[in-house]
Structure 1
Amino acid sequence: MDVSESNQSDWPLRPWLLAGALGLAGLLVWLLSDGANHSPWRMAGTAFVFFGSIAAAFTAERDRWKEPLSFALIAGLVMAGLAWRATAAGDRYADEEYGFAAGVIATALALPLFQAGFHRTRFATPYARVHYHVWTDAICAAGALAFTGAAWLLLVLMSELFHLLKIDLLREAMGEEWFGWTYSGVAFGAALGTLRNQVKVLGTLQAVVTLVLSILAVPLALGLALFLVAMIVSGPEVLWQATRSATPVLLACAAGAWVLANAILRDSDGEMSGNRVLRGAAFALALAILPLTVFAAVSLGTRVAQHGLSPERLWGLAAISVACAYGLAWFVALVRGLKRGTWREGLRRANLYLAVLISGVALLLALPILDFGAISARNQIARLESGAVSPEDFDYAALRWDFGDTGRQALARLQRSGNPRIAELAELAAKQSQRTYGFGRGRDFRSADELELRVQPDDPELRRMVVDYLRANAYVCQEFCVALDLGADAKGRREVALVESGRYSRVALPAGTQEPEVAPAAPAGFGPSSRVEIRTVPERYIFVDGRKVGPPLGSE
C-alpha cells in the first residue's frame, strides 16, 4: 500500500515526547494504584491514565492531534468506567473481570479502525489501510516491549557496575515501585516513538513477519485437513467425550488458521505471494475455520446440556459466537467468490465488517447491560425444579460464590424450599466461609455421622456448632480431627481449635464469613488415640501426645 495513506509521518520529536508523556503516565499509574486502598475511583483513574496514554501514543501526529486526543479520552473514559465497576462491585456481580477484558478487546479493535480513518469514511475505508495498522501496531508494541526489557537489563548491568564502587543509588532506585513504573514508561515511549517514525521500515517488517508466518500455513493446513478427514471417519463422538479440552483446542486451531490465512492474503492480490502452494494453503485454512468453530460450539453446547449455564460458559458462548461469525462470513465469501476468482478480496472485506461488528459487540458485553449471573442462576434453578439435576448433584456452592447477588438470592429462596433435602443443602452452602473446589456439589456435603470428630469437652451444644461448621466447610477436617473449646471471645462466640494432622485452624462459632486462622499442628502419628490438650507454659499451647505444636493460643 501507499504508506502516505496511513497519515503517519516522520516526527523527530515523537520519541522524546512519547518518552516524557508515558514516563509521566507511569508515575501517575503508580500514584493512583499504590497502597492497600484500591478504591474504585483510584482504579478508575489508573485505567484512564494507562489506556488513555497508550491510545494517544499510538495515534498522535504532529499535524493531527485533536482527533487522536478525543479518541484517547473516549478510550480512557470507557476503561475507567469498566475498572470502577469491576472494583466497586465486590462480589455483587459474577463477571466483572470478563467485562473488563471485553472492554480491552473493544479498545484494541477500535485502535486500527480509528488510525485508518474509519470514523470518517465508514465502510468505504480501504482494507489495506486497516490491515497496515493492525500489523504495524502489533510490531511496534512487541518491539517497544522488547526494548523495555533490554533497557531494564542495561540498568541492572549499570547498577552492578556502580555497586563495585559501593555506589548503590541505582540499586536502591530499582527497588522503588515509582521508579519502575516511570522508567518503564520512558523506555516504552522512546521505543514506540522511534518505531512509529520508521514508516518504510515498518512496511518492510510487516512484509517479513507475514512472509515468515505464511510458511507455517502449509503444515497447519495439512494438519487440519487430516484432522477433519480422520474425524469424519471415526465420528465426532470422541470430541464430546473430551468436552473440557475440545473447545479451547478447536478455537485455538481456528484462531491460528485465521491468523496464518491473513498472513498469506496480505492487503491486496498484488502484495500476495504468487506461490500456488501458499494460496492453496490460505484457501484450505479459510475453509477449515467454519467446521472447527462449529465443532467447538457443539462441544461447549454438550457441556452446557450436561451442567447448565454459568457466567464462564456464557462468556465462552459469546467467544464461540464470534468465532462462528468469522467462520460463516469467510465460508460465504469463499463460495461467492470462488467462480469469479474474487474470494481473496471477499475475505478481506469480511475482516473489515467483522472487526467493526465485534468491537461493538465486545463493548456491549462490557457494559452492565446483560447480567450473566442472573441468567445462569435462573437456568440452574429451572434445571433443579424440572428434575434435570437431583438435589444431591446440584451445585449450591456455585450460587453462593460464582453467580453474584442474584445467585445468593436464589440460594436464599432454596433455603425456604418445601423439599427438606434442598433446603438443608442450600443452608450448608450459605454457611460456607470460603469457596471450596472439588467439594462444591451437594453430594460432597457430609452428614454428621460421616465426620470423624472428637469434641473436648464433649458439650452437645458445642458439638452441634462444630458439626454445622464442618459440614458447610468440607476443606476442614477431611479426616479425623479434634475440636478443642478455647472459651468465649469478646463477642460472645465460642472459640474452637480444630486440630487435624499437619495443622490446626482457629474459628469462632457460630461462624460468619471470616477466614479461619490456620497454624502448624500435629506431628506424624496423629489419630483417634492421640491425647490432645491445652497447657500453659507459661502461655497456653496445644499439646498432642505430650508434644507442643503451633504458636501460643494467648492468655485465658
Structure 2
Amino acid sequence: MTDPFHDQTGRASLGGARGLAAVRLGIGLIQGLLLYGLYRSMATHDALTWPATHPALFAALVLACAFTPVMLLAGVGRLSIKALALWGVGAAAILALLGWHDAAQQAQDHFRPPYLRFPAVAFSAAALFIAHHLIVPAVAAGRWIADFDDYFDTAWKAGVQLALSLGFTGAFWLLLFLGAALFRVIGLSFLSDLISEEWFSIPVTCLVFAVAVQLTDVRAGLIRGVRTVALMLLSWLLLVITVLVAGFLAALPFTGLDGLWKTGSATALVLSAAAALIVLINTAYQDGREDNLPPVVLRVAVRVAAVLLTPLILIAIWGLSLRIGQHGLTPDRIIASACALVGVIYAAGYGWAALAPFLKRMAWMKPLERTNVAAAILTVGVILALFSPLADPARLSVGDQVARLKRGAVAAADFDYAFLRFEAGKPGRVALAARARSPDARIARLARQAQTTTSRYDMDQTGVPPRTPTIEAWPKGRRLPPSFSAPVASGDPRYACGQSDGCIATMRDLNGDGREEILMATRFNIALFAADADGRWSHRGDYQVRRCPGSRNDDPRERLKSPDVAPRPSEWPDLKLGVETARLNPNEACPPPVAVNP
C-alpha cells in the first residue's frame, strides 16, 4: 500500500523534510517553555504563584500543554494546516476541560500541583491517541470512516514512533548524565549544574523528543520495517496467551470461581487477560489483506482467542455484579464496568468474526475491522464521559452508597464513612456533611466523627468490629491465657490471626520479673505481648527476624518452635537524647553457609 502522507522517497511531502523539521522543533520548544513556565509557578522559592494558585486552571493547562503538542508533532505533514489547527484547538480544549474537572472534583486536603490524579492523565492520553488516529485517516480519505488498512497503518506506525522517540529521549539523558559524571571525575561540575536546572532540562527534553519524532518520520520505510518485526514477534505470543487462557477456562469447572474471587482483584485480572488477547489478535491480523495473512497456526490461534474473549468478559461482568451487589459502586468499579462495556463490543465482534465464515462466505476475520473502529469510537466516548460531569465516577459512587444507606442495605455502623471523607472528593465531602445532619443520631455521630478525622487508617479502626483471633499454642498442649485470645480490634497484631495469617504463640519470662510474657509469631515477625496490672495483654513491640541466605527456617513461626529461643542481653546500651531514646539496631552478619557433602 502506498503511503498517503509521504512521497516515493519516503520523506514527508508537506513542505519537505526541512520545513517539517522546523515546525516540529518549534512545537517542541514552545511546549518546553510552556511546561517550564507552569513548573516555575509551583516551585518559585517554595511558594505558589499564578496559575498554580488556581488548582483547576493549573490542572487544565498541564494536561493541555503536556499532550496537545505531542498530537501536533504527529499530525504535522499528515493534515493540512487548517485541519491541524482546528483539531489542535479542539483537542486542547477537551483536555483542558478534563483537567479542570478532575482538579475541581478533588478535596483540598494535601492538595499539591499538578492537582491531577493518575487515572485522568492516563485515560486522557489514551483517548487523545485513539481519537487522533481515527481522525487523521478519515480526513486524508475525505470520509467519515476510512479504510481499515489506513487506520492500521497510521496507528501502529505512530505507536512505533512514540516508543522509539521516548527511547531516544531516555538515551539522550543517559548520555548527558554519563558526560556529567566524566566531567565531575576531573573536577568540572558545569554539566551537572546545567542539567539540574529546570530552565534547561524541561525545554531540552521536549526539544529532543520533537527531534526524535522528526528523525523517525523522514524515513517511513524504516519505521515500517521495525513495526513489521515487532508485530511478527508479538503475534507469536498469541499462541502463549491463548493456551494459558484456554487452560484457565477449562480448569474453572473443576476448581470453581471461589479462588478467583478471593484474590480481591479478579475483575482486573480477567480484563487484563482480555486486553492482552485483543492486542495480540490484532498483531496477528494486522491490516487483513490477502497478501499479508499470518501462518495457518496463527490463523487458528486468532479464531480460538476471539472466541475465548466472550467467557472472559462474562466472568468479569459476573465478578463486578457480585461486588457491586454486595458493596455498591466505587470509582474503581465504575471504571472497570466501563472497560467491561468496551470488552462486550470486542467479544461480540471478534466472536462473530471467528464464527461467521462457517455460516456464510466471508473473508477470514473480516468483521474484526468494523469491530475495532466501533470499539475505538466507543472507547473515546466512554473516557470523555467518565472524566467529565456526564458520568463522574465519584459522583455516581457517592449517590449509590448513600442510597444503600438510606434503604437499609448497609447498617449505619458498617457504612464506609471513610470513603466519603477520603476517596470521593468533593461529592463525598458534601454527602458526608449531609449525613452529619441526619435525623438518625447514630449516622450523624459517625459522620461528624469522620469529618474530624485526618487519617483513613484511624477511620478503619473505628469502623471495623472486633474479631476473635485463632492462635496456636506452642508447645502443643500448652494453654494460652483466655484473655489473650479474647476479641481484639483492628490494628492489634492478633486481629489477622486465623484469617490472613496463621499465628503461633509461646510463653516465656523474658525480663526475669517472675511473670511470663507471650511471643506470638506470624509469617512476618514475632510480636511481644505483656500483661498489664489489670490482666489485659498489650502489644509492646516486634522482633524483626533476620533472613539469611540458605536458612531453612526463614518463617518466624518455625523459628519460634526452636528449643533455643531465649532472651539475650543487649551488648550495647540505649542512648538518651534529650526527651527521646535511641536504640541500636545491631549490624550482625549472617553465618557462613554450611557446606553440604555430596
Give the TM-score category using the shorter length.
0.7 to 0.9
Give the SS at the match of 2:578. strand
What are the residue-to-residue correspondences of 1:372-521 with 2, within 5 Å?
Answer: 372-436=393-457, 439=460, 442-443=463-464
Alpha-carbon separation, structure 2, partners of 1:79 and 1:432:
34
Secondary structure in 2 aligned to 1:344? coil
Q: Which residue matches 2:311?
A: 291
State whether structure 2 residue 286 is matched by structure 1 residue 262: no
Amino acid at match of 1:284: V
Aligned-residue offset at 1:118: 4.9
Inter-CA distance 113–189: structure 2 relative to 1 (3 Å threshold)? same
Q: Using the alignment, how far apart are the partners of 1:27 and 1:528 within structure 2?
A: 64
Q: 1:42 to 1:399 in 2, by over 3 A?
A: closer
For 1:168 and 1:156, locate their aligned partners in 2 and report how far apart those are by CA, in whole Å: 11
Q: Does 1:12 align with 2:28?
A: no
Query: Are the counterparts in 1 of residues 385 and 392 from structure 2 also a CA contact under 8 Å?
Result: no
What one-letter code is carried by the residue in structure 2 that aligns with 1:4?
Answer: P
Tell me if the contact between 1:75 and 1:107 (Cα under 8 Å) persists in the aligned partners: yes
Counterpart in the other structure of 1:55: 71
Number of equivalences: 464
For residues 2 and 359 of structure 1, what CA distance do their matches in structure 2 show?
28
Q: Which amino acid aligns with 2:324?
A: V
Question: Quick one: distance in 2 between partners of 1:18 and 1:180?
Answer: 18
2:205 corresponds in structure 1 to: 184
1:470-520 CA-to-partner distances (Å, cap 9, x unmatched) read xxxx99x999xxxxxxxxxxxxxxxxxxxxxxxxxxxxxxxxxxxxxxxxx
Secondary structure of 1:12's counterpart equals helix
Partner of 1:32: 38
Q: Is the 8 A contact 1:78 1:103 kept in 2?
A: no
Match of 1:154 in 2: 175
Query: How has the CA–CA distance of structure 1 residues 419 and 230 changed in structure 2, closer, same or farther, with 3 Å as cutoff?
Result: same
The amino acid of 1:28's aligned partner reads L
Quote the Cα distance in structure 2 between the aligned partners of 1:312 and 1:280.
35
Cα displacement (A) at 1:85:
2.8
| One-letter amino acid matched to 1:133 | T
Compared with structure 1, are the counterparts of its residues 526 and 154 closer, same or farther at alpha carbon in structure 2 (3 Å cutoff)? farther
Corresponding residue number in structure 2 for 1:142: 163
Give the corresponding residue for 1:303. 323
Q: 1:410 to 1:124 in 2, by over 3 A?
A: closer
Q: CA deviation at 1:336?
A: 2.9
* CA distance 1:48–1:127, shift in 2 (3 Å): same
Matched, 1:169 2:190: yes
TM superposition shift of 1:281: 0.7
Assess, with a 3 A threshold, how the Cα gap between structure 1 residues 161 and 404 changes in structure 2: closer, same or farther: closer
Q: How far is 1:62 from its partner?
A: 8.2
In structure 2, C-alpha distance between the alignment counterparts of 1:140 and 1:150, rounded to whole Å: 15
SS in 1 for 2:215: helix
Q: Helix, strand or coil: the match of 1:3? A: coil
Mapped to 2, the partners of 1:361 and 1:119 lie a distance apart of 26
Q: Describe the superposition over 1:280-314 as per-residue Cα deviations: whole angstroms up to 9, x where unpaired.
A: 11111111112111111111221111211122221
Cα distance in structure 1, aligned partners of 2:294 and 2:78: 38
Q: For residue 278 of structure 1, report the CA deviation from its aligned partner.
A: 0.7
Aligned residues of 1:33 and 1:46 also touching (Cα < 8 A) = no
Distance 2:126 2:344 in 1: 17
How far does residue 351 in structure 1 lie from its aligned partner after superposition?
0.6
The code of the aligned residue for 2:38 comes to L
RCO higher in structure (CA 8 A, sep ≥6): 1
| Cα deviation digits, residues 244-270 of structure 1 (max 9, x gap) | 121111111111111111011010232
Equivalent residue for 1:549? 579
CA contact (8 A) 2:281 2:302 kept: yes
SS in 2 for 1:125: coil
Partner of 1:225: 246
The C-alpha deviation readout for 1:54-84, integer Å capped at 9, x for no partner, is 1110010188322122212221221122223
In the alignment, structure 2 segments of 5+ residues that lack a partner are 110-114, 468-489, 495-527, 534-574, 582-598
How far 1:325 sits from its partner (Å)? 2.0
TM-score for both structures, normalised by structure 1: 0.75
Counterpart amino acid of 1:57? L
Match of 1:87 in 2: 103
Task: Supply the AA of the counterpart residue of 2:71.
Answer: A
1:364 aligns with 2:385: yes
Answer yes or no: is the 8 Å Cα contact 1:373–1:403 preserved in 2.
yes
Deviation of 1:102 after TM superposition, in Å, equals: 3.6
> Do 2:98 and 2:120's aligned partners in 1 also have CA atoms closer than 8 Å?
yes
The 3-state SS of whatever aligns with 1:439 is helix
Percentage identity across aligned positions? 28
Is 1:75 matched up with 2:96?
no
What's 1:246 paired with? Answer: 266
The C-alpha deviation readout for 1:393-434, integer Å capped at 9, x for no partner, is 211111222223333333333334444333322221122123
Distance 2:280 2:576 in 1: 68
Q: Look up the match of 2:235.
A: 214
Given residue 28 of structure 2, which amino acid in structure 1 is its aligned partner?
L
Deviation at 1:277, TM superposition (A): 0.6
Q: TM-score, normalised by structure 2?
A: 0.70
Contact 2:78 2:136 in 1 (8 A): no
Structure 2 counterpart of 1:127: 148
